[in-house]
């Protein structure tokens, strides 16, 4: 899905729940889950067998996340998402993929 499609699907709901605590921002978590599932599907479809390739997919997803943020600004809204949050989340959840020297690891599946 393109950033504009994410904006059209989730934009209004994200704006409406901006003042809620993070644990109650269900739309935020729905967007993040969609981005994660899309990245996972892309990694599988591209048969990413080395960390460098998987990181490229995650970086592309993060760029899409940032483009989604830009749609809010262009529409006159304060973006309810943090820039680079997808990449930050990926690095937190997949630390082995981002450790120094991971690009030189043996070939193998990136996702289980």
Burial of 62 (0-12, 13-18, 19+ CB in 10 A): buried
| pTM, rounded to two decimals | 0.83
> The tokens of 105 are what?
């690891």
Domain assignment present for 53: yes
Q: Report the C-alpha gap between 1 and 3 in whole angstroms.
A: 7
Confidence of residue 111 (pLDDT cuts 50, 70, 90): very low
Q: Is residue 22 part of a domain?
A: yes
Nearest-angstrom CA–CA distance, 72 and 38: 21
Distance CA 51, CA 57 (A): 10
Count of domains forming the chain: 1
Which pLDDT score, from 0 to 100, does residue 7 have?
97
Give the tens place of pLDDT for each residue, 31-85: 999 999 999 999 999 888 788 899 999 999 999 999 999 999 999 999 999 999 9
Note down the domain range covering 42: 3-104
């Amino acid at each position: 899905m393109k950033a504009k499609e994410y904006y059209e699907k989730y934009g209004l709901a994200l704006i409406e729940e901006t003042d809620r605590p993070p644990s109650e921002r269900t739309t935020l978590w729905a967007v993040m889950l969609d981005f994660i599932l899309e990245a996972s599907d892309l990694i599988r479809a591209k048969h990413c067998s080395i960390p460098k390739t998987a990181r490229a997919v995650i970086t592309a997803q993060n760029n899409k996340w940032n483009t989604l943020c830009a749609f809010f600004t262009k529409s006159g809204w304060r973006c309810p998402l943090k820039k680079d949050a997808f990449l930050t989340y990926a690095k937190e959840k997949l630390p082995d993929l981002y450790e120094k020297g991971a690009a030189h690891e043996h070939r193998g599946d990136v996702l289980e």
